[in-house]
Amino acid sequence: MGVAVVTGANRGIGLEVTRQLAAAGHTVYLGARHLASGRAAAEPMRDVGLDVRPIELDVTVGKHREAAAVTITHDHERLDMLVNNAAIHYDTGNRATAPDMRTVSEALGTNLFGAWHVTLALLDLLRRSGHGRIVNVSSGAGSLLDMDGGRPAYRLSKVGLNALTRMWAAELREDAILVNSVCPGWVETDMGGRGGRPVQEGAAGIVWAATLPDHGPTGGFFRDGRPIAW
């Protein structure tokens, strides 16, 4: 079975992605900004025999990224799946013509640059897999086709993440690494709020992309396993 890292995994979509991957038999490193939170989230899954290993992984902290790479190298010498899920600031009420630039900067730092840095830190391990998968958890809010006003911090970070998906897919094709963006839809989580779809449904599309066969798509934008517009 495979080895996976899921960032922002101590709650919400990331936690459910972790549970689904581990239930399928994979070893999953549950990344959390604070190790205590990660341990608390992992404990119920570990209690039923799932191989979930909490690690301290604030995606904006270089020493966390480096430590994750060292740990996985020591334990497995490869990484099969990376799910860039960590995200902040769904900035409803903020506007691009009157932005809170601190919020914009923080969102880009985590949602875009954090994912970028984590991927670079773990890229050699993904190459060693021979069938690596990178899933960037994006959003329809980052689709240029449907772009309108509001939520500039969140939208811009997801547009950038989608662009990275396209570039990485092209550059990593020769390494047999498939890279895709996935929109989980409006999911009822702390960030998504009440009234959305069950978290299990949103997570399933991410797990689908993380476990694609070698002939699967790369450089795409998907929801529930179906392409959506950039």
Q: Is 29 a catalytic residue?
A: no
pTM (global) more than 0.85 = yes
Asked if residues 82 and 126 have their Cβ atoms less than 8 Å apart, the reply is yes
Q: What 8-state DSSP symbol labels residue 192? A: T
Tens digits of pLDDT across the chain (230 residues): 999 999 999 999 999 999 999 999 999 999 999 999 999 999 999 999 999 999 999 999 999 999 999 999 999 999 999 999 999 999 999 999 999 999 999 999 999 999 999 999 999 999 999 999 999 999 999 999 989 999 999 999 999 999 999 999 999 999 999 999 999 988 876 665 566 689 999 999 999 999 999 999 999 999 999 999 99
- Out of 29, 90, 154, 221, pick the active-site residue: 154
CATH number for the domain harbouring residue 209: 3.40.50.720
| Domain hosting residue 82, numbered range | 3-227
Strand partners, 82: 5, 134
Q: How many folded domains does the chain comprise?
A: 1
